[in-house]
Structure 1
């Protein structure tokens, strides 16, 4: 299974910026933050803009956090921009401006969880660690466990399942990337392409006749249209584009449901994504 995935990845993997020789560990960290819950096609142009403006952690740390939030634009979940800025400050102050290479140090960075820490350790530094995302969990659930769906995540269980599959240290980065790519392109959630899958011959789910999933299913995200998240996005759009303080009356025009707008503003203030300034106006964090 491992070698079949690695061989397929050499020719079937996408040509992505973070897979290019010489791509920096800082670039890998930025890309991992951006790729959380955002499609690759939307990330690539913003990643290039971000790294051109802030090519090092020290460069971002020297800018106001609000600049990072503004540059985040429409990537969504803008708290990631605040966490990334906080990461840059911590790396600059605690790690001499160099992204750390081991998992424990990476986990000490703001906003970095088990997946992101291991992804950077493996993909930026060639570490021998199990990387687990939704795509990898799906491939393991189908190929090794015969389940149609990966079910709710469990960090301990999922890491153990992936660790058990890791090949030798020299091959584990390619295997981590390859199995992730296989889940993203071939072993997809809705339309798996078993006819061209490199490991279909040994897939327990396929060989069992594609049984329906039994057990708890992963949580389905609520729709965006009309949600509090969309209201938050409308407020953030006004503030990103204004390059000045924005009055409450201006914000009142950006969303029809005033109760929902109030919740959005309160939540953004609590998260540190906006600040209340004089004369009942708001701005991005300074």
Structure 2
């Protein structure tokens, strides 16, 4: 049975690999505002938090509105949390909005209002993990940290490892491979980080890779092996009928109305929250509302009314 982990042996002709991907990126990179040389590090950090599990097309309008409203960490740190959650709109996973505001406050308190370049300092910010810290260091400050997201993992799994998809969880072998593939020149290394990510997002996609348009077609170990199917078929995330759907409906109602008396939560959530045919049980409603309160996304007043913090 073939290994499901990309190889970590030396890669043949890494310079050729770099040239192929970087040349492709020079021609096909999307013109994204957070890639603009004039974009401040804060804008890069905001983009990386928003892009977690959310496609670019949904992030773009929210990022632009966010940066216009809160162009610095200090601006977001001082904003009412209710305004922050409302502005997050339907980006999903709204706890990210809370963590982003917490990160802004930490930047103000610990770093004088400027996003730190040091990956260690970045990782110490709320909501910032290994990937986000490396991405901000690389894309905002030109520090060639090894940036590995789902797109990068998929490109390496196919082009180098010969497997259709990477393991479910990031492995040490993948990080060693990614580190070994980083170009020696810092400028090339930072462009490489963005280029491989872009290749995975636009061409080497999970379900319908456009191999005929890939600059690595002649070098791809997966194509050379006959493009074998993944050992474990990827499954999409369920939505209809889940607690995520109900929580999202309640959040949508709070964004629309600001404060909801207890007897109006269900009606307004059903009206504006895209519940469709799903009719949550009393148990699910109570569980979802309690979860929102517990996560700091909503507050239940003494009279039972629900509102943003």
TM-score, length-normalised on structure 2? Answer: 0.88
Partner of 2:75: 59
The answer as to whether partners of 1:151 and 1:217 remain within 8 angstroms in 2 is no
- Deviating above 3 A after TM superposition, structure 1's stretches of 4 or more consecutive aligned residues are none
- Identify the match of residue 226 of structure 1 among 235, 241, 251: 241
Q: Which residue of 1 aligns with 2:221?
A: 204
Aligned to 2:283: 259
TM-fit CA distance, 1:159: 2.1
User: Contact 1:6–1:174 at 8 Å: present in 2 too?
Assistant: yes
Between the aligned partners of 2:242 and 2:230, the Cα distance in structure 1 is 30
Alignment match, 1:173: 190
Distance 1:155 1:269, change over 3 A: farther
What is the distance in 2 between the residues matched to 1:188 and 1:32?
19
Provide the alpha-carbon RMSD of the alignment: 1.3
Distance 1:196 1:39 in 2: 21
Q: Find the partner of 1:246 among 250, 256, 260.
A: 260
Counterpart in the other structure of 1:193: 210
CA displacement 1:128-150 (0-9 Å, x = unmatched) = 11101111000000011100111
1:117 aligned to which of 133, 139, 145? 133
2:160 and 2:170 map into 1 onto residues whose CA distance is 17
Structure 1 unaligned regions, length at least 5: none
Q: TM-score scaled to structure 1, two decimals?
A: 0.95
SS of the residue aligned with 1:81?
Answer: helix
Q: 1:67 and 1:157 mapped to 2: Cα distance?
A: 43
> Is the aligned partner of 1:17 residue 2:33?
yes
1:187-241 alpha-carbon deviations (Å, 9 max, x no partner): 1111111112111111111111112334x566x3531111110100111111111
Query: CA 1:222–1:213 in structure 2 vs 1: closer, same or farther (change >3 Å)?
Result: closer
Q: State the shift of 1:3 in Å.
A: 1.6
Distance 1:16 1:181 in 2: 11
Aligned-partner Cα distance in 1 for 2:301–2:153: 45
Gaps of 5+ in 2: 1-16, 271-278
Which residue of 1 is the match for residue 105 of structure 2?
A: 89
Cα distance between partner residues in 2 of 1:177 and 1:83: 24
1:217–1:190: structure 2 CA closer, same or farther, 3 Å change rule?
closer
Instruction: Measure the CA separation in 1 of the matches of 2:245 and 2:120.
Output: 35
Cα deviations by residue, 1:89-140 (Å, 9 ceiling, x for unpaired): 0000001000011111110000111111111010111111110111100000
**Does the aligned pair in 2 maintain the 1:131–1:159 contact within 8 Å?**
no
- Do the aligned residues in 2 keep the contact of 1:150 with 1:217 (CA within 8 Å)? no
